[in-house]
Amino acid sequence: MKLQEFAAKQLLVQAGLPVPGWSVATTPQQARTQAEEYFAAGAGRVVIKAQVLVGGRGKAGGVKLAATAAEAEAVASAILGMDIKGITVRRVLVGAAADIVKEFYLAAVLDRAAQRIRIMASAEGGVEIETVAETNPDAIVSVLAHPHLGLLDHQARQIAFAMGLGDRWKEAAGIAKGVFQALIDNDADLVEINPLAIVRTIGPDGSVTEALQALDAKITLDDSALFRHPQLEQLRDLDEEDPVDVEARGLGLSFIRLDGTIGCMVNGAGLAMATMDLVKRAGGEPANFLDIGGGARSDKVAAAMRLILSEPSVRAILVNIFGGIARGDEVARGLIEARAQQTRDVPMVVRIVGTNADLAAAILRDSGTGIEAASSLDAAVERAVALAGVSA
Ligand code: GDP
Ligand code: MN
């Protein structure tokens, strides 16, 4: 689950990281009112930033500065409704504009292969790290931190010095540790600050201070660990999620779209994977992974069928049910119910064994729906592949 910048910044603040204040506006008028407050508090300019889950908003025109409240309203008006890489901007972040002295890159990312948390840093901040990795890989430094031992003092110092922040290494090392902690505390896969910037502030008495601040934040949470953080669920942005994913999650189904033409409905994750292997071996390509779970009731089966058929490339459906807790007759009724609601004529091959398999076969045979019952799993797979026209 990807978090919008304003939500990611909340988590950075909770981890004790320095983040300049912000507010969120959904209308230009609201942005104007918020800008007035920043100006009243002494801001020279305000920054208005599109809140969309893609990188490179700055380049796309989604990050702008404004010197007056009226200008803030106009800028917000231009950004709200803007299309950035196919996503419509519905919200903007508003804050006092930072006076940037220099930009850096700092991130913590789960490195599965290394079984560690990788802390990555660069003095080349502000630009996308992929670009730096291509053009100047030596400008990126990274260390591996053990998830239980944490980012060690010497590692944090190493990061600080490598960023060219030797003169403020304590501050930089503290921030590196905070980024690591934010990842651990929230079970995130990625916590990225780009730019982390040295920001200049001029006090009322004219005194100049400089400090590191997180001006942007990108966090990706591990979906499989979200149950441990129910309070983070409210940070989910449903507007930017695939409606199919939203529906599958609501139904408690594990559903993952793939590129093929054969829709697969299976109970049990292992059986679902084995089924996909068999489809591939028979020369077909699965259109999805779908585990309808144990004890699937007919309404869930019907809903799962809707999800499969929402993908236009599906040309055949293969149902593979091993009836244990799930009863074959219940699944068969669900399939017939789904067939009745089906808006597209897609052939369906069914293999049901186990609990009430005989009853299931009879129900399907008598249904007059044209659903084919296969005598074996191999036969079911062969038939589905043939129906999808792949093996021809
Ligand atoms: P991104 O393009 O989606 O990564 O959005 P960022 O939040 O990183 O903003 C892009 C760029 O806009 C930054 O690298 C900065 O150069 C600039 N920027 C962002 N916030 C401020 C700010 O408060 N003041 C100034 N002067 N520039 C900013
Ligand atoms: Mn950025």
Give the distance from CA 301 to its chain's centroid. 26
The tokens describing 60, both together, are 């796309």
Pocket lining: 63 vs ligand 1, CB cutoff 6 Å:
yes
Ligand in nearest proximity to the CA of 89: 1
Domains, the chain: 1-18+99-237 (3.30.470.20), 21-97 (3.30.1490.20), 242-387 (3.40.50.261)
**Which range, of 71-85, 144-158, 353-367, averages the lowest pLDDT?**
353-367
Separation of alpha carbons 357 and 363, rounded Å: 10
For range 125-150, the mean pLDDT: 93
Q: Give pLDDT, residue 296.
A: 67
Pocket lining: 20 vs ligand 1, CB cutoff 6 Å:
no
What are phi and psi for residue 121, nearest 5 degrees? Answer: -145, 155
| Helices of type H across 56-200 | 69-79, 129-135, 153-162, 169-186
Separation of alpha carbons 240 and 62, rounded Å: 17
Pocket lining: 97 vs ligand 1, CB cutoff 6 Å:
yes
Query: Which residue from 5, 63, 128, 213 has its CB within 8 A of the most atoms of ligand 1, so it is best to mutate?
Result: 63
Beta bridge partners of 319: 265, 350
**Which range, of 9-23, 56-70, 200-214, 337-351, averages the lowest pLDDT?**
337-351
Pocket lining: 271 vs ligand 1, CB cutoff 6 Å:
no
Beta-carbon count within 10 A of 247 CB: 16
**Which range, of 109-113, 182-186, 353-357, averages the lowest pLDDT?**
353-357
Q: Give pLDDT, residue 326.
A: 77
Peptide bond between residue 195 and the one before it cis (omega within 30 degrees of 0): yes
CB 56 within 8 A of CB 129: no
For range 87-106, the mean pLDDT: 97
Number of DSSP helices (H) and strands (E) in the chain, helices first: 12, 19
Task: Record the pTM.
Answer: 0.82
Q: Give pLDDT, residue 128.
A: 87
Q: Which residues are catalytic?
A: 105, 192
Q: Which residues contact 205 (CB under 8 A, 6 or more apart)?
A: none
User: Ligand 2 center to residue 377 CA distance, Å?
Assistant: 50
Q: Give pLDDT, residue 391.
A: 40
Q: Which residue has the higher pLDDT, 23 or 204?
A: 23
Query: Which residue from 52, 100, 129, 199 has its CB within 8 A of the most atoms of ligand 1, so it is best to mutate?
Result: 100
CB 19 within 8 A of CB 214: yes
Pocket lining: 216 vs ligand 1, CB cutoff 6 Å:
yes
Beta bridge partners of 122: 105, 140
- Looking at the CA of residue 128, tell me the nearest atom of ligand 1: 4
For residue 343, pLDDT beyond 80 = no
For range 356-379, the mean pLDDT: 90
For residue 45, pLDDT beyond 70 = yes
For range 203-231, the mean pLDDT: 95
User: Ligand 1 center to residue 143 CA distance, Å?
Assistant: 26
Q: Are strands 2-3 and 92-96 parallel, antiparallel or unpaired?
A: unpaired
CB 358 within 8 A of CB 323: no
| Nearest alpha carbon, ligand 1 atom 11 | 58
Residue 77 burial (C-beta neighbours within 10 Å; 0-12, 13-18, 19+) = middle
